[in-house]
């Protein structure tokens, strides 16, 4: 749990001291100037002294380097593509309005293309659990900065697992909200129909508090959505969990598979209702991301960069993006029809279970393994995450029984119910507290309530 700091200035002073002591570990691309940070913190403290209610006062937050922070360069881990925005992304603006201080911008797989965290010219931010192992990506630096305790929370982005895999590989939590709940205005697009802004934190209550500030309709984002007023605001008293069949776990490494099976056993031992679900259609949808034409969205979002400045793009990333150039519009349309079909199939699944519990990744590769086969290992890492945004699902990654990370998955707008379920699952697997709130000094907040009183329109 995050400790409530005495003041924003104390907290930022501690964050800077921690950075000095523990090092940046390749997690950072840009850290704000000391004087600017102290000025921002002083303003927060003054506002609090004036009686302003700032839910994030005293919190220091990191921002992935594909999300604009005014006055700091946005590089997407490509120095050649760097620009310095004069306006915050909507999500960052909301964080600041709620009293957070932004420490800086974090490292990432270039252009958010990757799930491993090694595709960056700014170095490899390895896992805090084992320096031989990757941190996961693409939100590598954000997860590491949170896991180190330098910051209280960090923003990431997630198209195919970038906000969940790094949480699993650093034993923290990662919330991948329903598409459109958090504005992507001011975020460099990866695959715009499927991009989400995510929150990393050491615990769910902190992540929830941060998410509640930034989940807000935004006219500047064409894909912004309002909270569905029919969505459940809590989990049912006797939830039913769906788990994959044994066959669907075959891609897993031995240690992660064993830990996942132990996690599921712990749930049934704790009296929770667990039913097997055939996730074959989901894994099939995931394959469209690499084998189909959906990659063309990423190619389109790249625009002419590959032709104009090929030297600025990592060769692995360039290779992936180039594959979209040869795809036909008819194949893309057919892939989109197929996603709609699987989405409809899932409707029946959600009538039988409250959440699907999957391993967040099939295993945790080393840096050496990724280097030996960068595309195939990356693809393997995304086995259980790739399909989530394609199918408009909500997801929450939490630690399971070590070393596995587990993700709870629900339909769009199940976010609030998933939080209850994630607290439960995490409690059973790790002994962490099973209720949220309290530690930050603010009552537990959530989207609908917050949306109606937020300061930003």
Rule CB under 8 A: which residues touch a copy of itself? 192-193, 219-223, 226, 229-230, 293, 296-297, 299-301, 324-325, 327-334, 336-337, 340-341, 343-344, 347-348
Q: Which is nearer to a copy of itself, 285 or 423 (by Cβ)? A: 285
Q: Which is nearer to a copy of itself, 334 or 430 (by Cβ)? A: 334
Measured from the CB of residue 93, what is the shortest distance to a copy of itself in angstroms? 18
In three-state secondary structure terms, 207 is helix
Q: Which residues are catalytic?
A: 64, 138, 162
Measured from the CB of residue 347, what is the shortest distance to a copy of itself in angstroms? 5
Measured from the CB of residue 233, what is the shortest distance to a copy of itself in angstroms? 15
Identify any residues that bridge with 395 across adjacent strands, giving them in sequence order. 176, 409
Burial of 310 (0-12, 13-18, 19+ CB in 10 A): exposed
Q: Which is nearer to a copy of itself, 299 or 385 (by Cβ)? A: 299
Q: Which is nearer to a copy of itself, 68 or 420 (by Cβ)? A: 68
Residues 262-300 as b/e (b if ≥16 CB within 10 A, e otherwise) read: bbbebbeeeebebeebebebbbebbebbbebbbbbbbbe
Q: Write the DSSP assignment of 383-415 as a string of letters.
A: TTTTHHHHTTEEEEEEE-STT-EEEEEEETT-H
Identify any residues that bridge with 38 across adjacent strands, giving them in sequence order. none
Upstream peptide bond of 138 is cis (omega within 30 degrees of 0): yes
**Residues 405, 168 contacting (CB under 8 angstroms):** yes
**Residues 284, 342 contacting (CB under 8 angstroms):** yes
Per-residue tokens: 394 = 């909500």
Measured from the CB of residue 333, what is the shortest distance to a copy of itself in angstroms? 4
Q: Which is nearer to a copy of itself, 48 or 306 (by Cβ)? A: 306
Measured from the CB of residue 344, what is the shortest distance to a copy of itself in angstroms? 4
> Among candidates 382, 386, 312, which has minimal Cα distance to 342?
386
């Amino acid at each position: 749990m995050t400790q409530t700091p005495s003041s924003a200035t104390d907290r930022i002073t501690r964050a800077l001291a921690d950075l000095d002591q523990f090092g940046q570990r390749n997690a950072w691309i840009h850290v704000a100037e000391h004087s600017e940070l102290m000025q921002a913190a002083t303003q927060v403290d003054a506002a609090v002294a004036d009686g302003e209610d700032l839910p994030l006062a005293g919190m220091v937050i990191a921002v992935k380097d594909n999300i604009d922070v005014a006055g700091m360069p946005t590089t997407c881990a490509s120095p050649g593509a760097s620009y310095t925005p004069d306006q915050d992304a909507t999500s960052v603006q909301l964080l600041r309005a709620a009293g957070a201080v932004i420490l800086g911008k974090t490292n990432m797989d270039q252009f958010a293309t990757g799930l491993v965290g090694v595709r960056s010219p700014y170095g490899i931010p390895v896992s805090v659990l084992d320096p031989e192992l990757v941190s996961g990506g693409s939100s590598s630096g954000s997860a590491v900065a949170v896991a180190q305790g330098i910051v209280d929370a960090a923003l990431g982005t997630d198209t195919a697992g970038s906000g969940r895999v790094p949480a699993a590989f650093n034993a923290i939590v990662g919330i991948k909200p329903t598409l459109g709940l958090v504005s992507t205005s001011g975020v460099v697009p990866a695959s715009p129909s499927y991009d989400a802004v995510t929150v990393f934190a050491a615990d769910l209550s902190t992540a929830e508090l941060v998410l509640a500030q930034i989940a807000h309709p935004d006219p500047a984002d064409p894909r912004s959505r309002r909270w569905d007023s029919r969505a459940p605001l809590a989990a049912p008293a006797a939830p039913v969990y769906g788990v994959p069949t044994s066959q669907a776990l075959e891609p897993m490494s031995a240690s992660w598979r064993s830990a996942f099976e132990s996690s599921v056993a712990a749930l049934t031992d704790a009296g929770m209702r667990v039913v097997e679900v055939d996730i074959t259609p989901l894994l099939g949808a995931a394959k469209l991301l690499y084998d189909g034409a959906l990659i063309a969205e990423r190619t389109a979002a790249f625009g002419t960069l590959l032709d104009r400045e090929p030297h600025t793009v990592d060769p692995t990333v360039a290779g992936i993006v180039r594959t979209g150039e040869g795809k036909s519009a008819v194949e893309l349309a057919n892939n989109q029809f197929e996603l709609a079909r699987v989405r409809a199939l899932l409707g029946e699944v959600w009538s039988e279970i409250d959440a699907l519990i999957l391993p967040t990744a099939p295993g945790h590769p080393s840096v050496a393994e990724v280097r030996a086969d960068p595309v195939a290992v990356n693809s393997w890492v995304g086995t259980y995450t790739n399909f989530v945004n394609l199918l408009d699902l909500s997801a929450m990654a939490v630690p399971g029984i070590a070393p596995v990370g587990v993700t709870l998955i629900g339909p769009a707008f199940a976010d609030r119910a998933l939080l209850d379920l994630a607290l439960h699952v995490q409690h059973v697997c790790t002994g962490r507290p099973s209720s949220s709130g309290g530690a930050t000094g603010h009552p537990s907040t959530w989207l609908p309530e917050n949306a109606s009183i937020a300061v930003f329109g």
